[in-house]
């Protein structure tokens, strides 16, 4: 069985892949549609190939890692994002997993207290934007180097999943990042951005994509294998396309800038140029000789093309739903959504999140 490396990067738009020179020049880029509009439900849907995970914000079993483990893979996962903590099931099936939620990255009780009140949310966000803790989290190159060490120490066959975070706003740390002042202006008063400021934000974003591209090249060059390789993004990003900046999950938007993302399948015999994120787990599992779970909703792209996709954008007990067949779109805006599987229902509702993880999610902009 062949090793498999699966890399996801935060907030990468399909139409900005030219900034990732190594990936775009080395591999075929397919057009993927996300199952959700922000990190946790999107990645949960990828790992479990079901809308149950999207609506609940929890990775449902069986997971991709569990299915690969069942056929003998040593499964390794690294994701420096509070949305992908083991609390939400992301560690299920992995032999080694790190979400890098060290005590030093957890907020003070004072910050947690002020963030609890509706009337103080905007004030909180102005004083504690994503820049507030980006310096405390590991840089993507550190995560990559740890992954290389884990991978090379493990025995084949190996499955490695890495999620890269520096492509998430503010697009890096220190001087690499968008400044706090400009970030606030884009988030709250995007209509007042000058042309030069818009260019600056997009340049910072493109630079972050280029760094991620270099980090992925570094990963593939330094592991002791020539693995099958899969790449995608959890969602895209807004740059004023639909009147807003960034992905702002509370808007429940399903615009192309947010849900159309690049997908790479290298080492797989796939013809389809368009696909759903739900298809990733079944396709990887089938290629490894594993059983495709009956609970999974995606297609095995080794055998079947995807004719339509569904994206659900849940937030605070409601969701926007998009159905499309790549020519037509049908949208239900801010609806009550129920997923029914053999009489077992899952509804869109707010997940109970431990306070220390909530704090990190607020710092990334995931506010109610």
Each residue of 110-167: pLDDT tens digit? 443 444 444 554 555 455 554 444 556 789 999 999 999 999 999 999 999 999 999 9
Q: What is the pLDDT of residue 20?
A: 98
pLDDT at 256 over 90: yes
- 99 near 59, Cβ under 8 Å? no
Q: What is the pLDDT of residue 350?
A: 56
Rounded average pLDDT over 204-229: 98
Rounded average pLDDT over 258-286: 96
Each residue of 65-90: pLDDT tens digit? 999 999 999 999 999 998 999 999 99
Residue predicted with more confidence, 346 or 1: 1
- pLDDT band of residue 368 (cuts 50, 70, 90) is very low
Each residue of 159-210: pLDDT tens digit? 999 999 999 999 998 999 999 999 999 999 999 999 999 999 999 999 999 9
DSSP code at position 45: H
Structure tokens, 299:
């297609």
Nearest to 135 by CA among 363, 366, 367: 363
Mean per-residue pLDDT over the chain, rounded: 88
pLDDT at 34 over 70: yes
Q: What is the pLDDT of residue 131?
A: 44
Nearest to 79 by CA among 277, 281, 364: 364
Dmax over CA atoms of the chain, in Å, equals 55
Q: What is the pLDDT of residue 114?
A: 46
Residues with Cβ within 8 Å of 245's Cβ and at least 6 positions away in sequence, in order, are 186, 187, 190, 201, 238, 239
CA 6 to chain centre: 12
- 280 near 262, Cβ under 8 Å? no
Each residue of 322-342: pLDDT tens digit? 999 988 999 998 878 887 776
What is the pTM for the complete model shown? Answer: 0.86
């Amino acid at each position: 069985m062949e090793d498999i490396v699966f890399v996801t990067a935060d907030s990468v738009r399909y139409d900005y892949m030219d900034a990732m020179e190594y990936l775009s020049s080395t591999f075929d880029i397919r057009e993927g549609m996300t199952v959700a509009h922000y990190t946790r439900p999107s990645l949960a849907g990828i790992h479990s190939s079901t809308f149950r995970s999207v609506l609940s914000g929890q990775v449902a079993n069986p997971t991709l890692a569990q299915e690969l483990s069942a056929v003998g893979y040593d499964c390794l996962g690294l994701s420096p994002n509070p949305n992908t903590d083991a609390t939400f099931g992301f560690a299920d099936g992995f032999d080694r997993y790190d979400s890098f939620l060290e005590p030093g990255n957890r907020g003070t009780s004072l910050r947690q207290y002020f963030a609890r009140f509706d009337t103080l949310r905007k004030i909180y966000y102005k004083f504690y934007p994503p820049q507030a803790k980006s310096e405390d989290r590991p840089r993507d190159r550190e995560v990559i180097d740890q992954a290389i060490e884990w991978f090379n120490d493990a025995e084949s066959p190996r499955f490695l999943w890495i999620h890269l975070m520096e492509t998430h706003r503010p697009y890096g740390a220190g001087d690499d990042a968008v400044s706090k002042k400009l970030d606030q202006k884009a988030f709250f008063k995007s209509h007042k951005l000058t042309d030069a400021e818009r260019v600056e934000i997009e340049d910072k974003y493109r630079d972050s994509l280029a760094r991620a591209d270099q980090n992925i090249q570094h990963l593939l060059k330094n592991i002791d294998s020539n693995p099958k390789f899969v790449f995608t993004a959890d969602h895209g990003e807004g740059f004023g396309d639909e009147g807003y900046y960034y992905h702002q999950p509370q808007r429940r938007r399903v615009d192309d800038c947010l849900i159309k993302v690049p997908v790479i399948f290298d080492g797989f015999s796939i013809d389809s140029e368009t696909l759903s994120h739900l298809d990733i787990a079944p396709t990887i599992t089938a290629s490894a000789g594993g059983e495709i779970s009956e609970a999974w909703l995606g297609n095995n792209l080794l055998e079947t093309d995807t004719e339509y996709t569904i994206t659900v954008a849940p937030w605070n007990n409601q969701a926007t739903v998009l159905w499309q067949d790549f020519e037509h779109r049908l949208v239900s805006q801010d609806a009550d959504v129920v997923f029914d599987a053999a009489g077992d229902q899952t509804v869109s509702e707010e997940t109970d999140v431990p306070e220390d993880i909530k704090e990190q999610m607020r710092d990334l902009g995931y506010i109610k």
